[in-house]
Amino acid sequence: MNVGVVGNPNYPDLGAFLATLQQKASSVGLKLYSEERIQALWPAGDGAAPPPISAAPAALDCLITLGGDGTLLRGARLLNGADTPILGLNLGRVGFLTTAAPDTLDWALDAIVRHAYTTEPRLALQSTITGKGAKGGGGRVEPLVLNDVVVHKGGVARVVRLKVSVDGDEVAQYSADGIIVSTPTGSTAYSMSAGGAR
């Protein structure tokens, strides 16, 4: 199985954890591919760093993210809509989206190898930002997102007029500092972080 690894290099023990992951993945027959930003953190010597994800076959069998929710969201963006399962391994304090922890690594790798897991499909958003006077429906297509899209006024010292359309149908117009359009994944995280229900 080909497994991609995405990590947050700001975690101080990430290098040591990558060494553990590499040894355990090898023992169960997983071939790892590394995100380039953590390439230098893999152990040197016999267990050389895995090849970059860009060198992986057309489709990874799974993606493991090491960090928190932000790392998982970055991993989802990297997959760009591919139907690849993501295992979020939480190395931080709070992970609304992550499902495993360092002490459950053996269990998680075993589940991947045996396909003994269930996937939870998530909605994603594809957004296009068009400015005043854009002709022919043109605009700036933004990357696919799992969480939310935020449009705001930036450094402008006044409110902006926003027209929101979904699949070509106008939903509403707003005068505001900005707007957040969220998937169910994003709205659940906002609710939980504010002390609400899951």
Given the residues 13, 46, 69, 177, select the one marked as catalytic.
69
8 A C-beta contact, residue 91 and residue 67: yes
**Through-space distance between the first and last CA atoms of the chain, rounded to whole angstroms:** 33
Our answer to whether residue 69 is catalytic in this structure is yes
Helix-helix angle 14-27:105-114, to 10 degrees: 40
Which residues on neighbouring strands pair with residue 165, listed in sequence order? 170
Q: How far from chain centre, in Å, is Cα 175? A: 31
CA distance 157 to 155: 6
8 A C-beta contact, residue 83 and residue 133: no
Within 8 A by CB and 6+ apart from 7, the residues are 14, 18, 35, 37, 38, 41, 65, 66, 67, 71
The SS3 call for residue 126 is: coil
CA distance 31 to 91: 22
- Catalytic residue ranges: 69
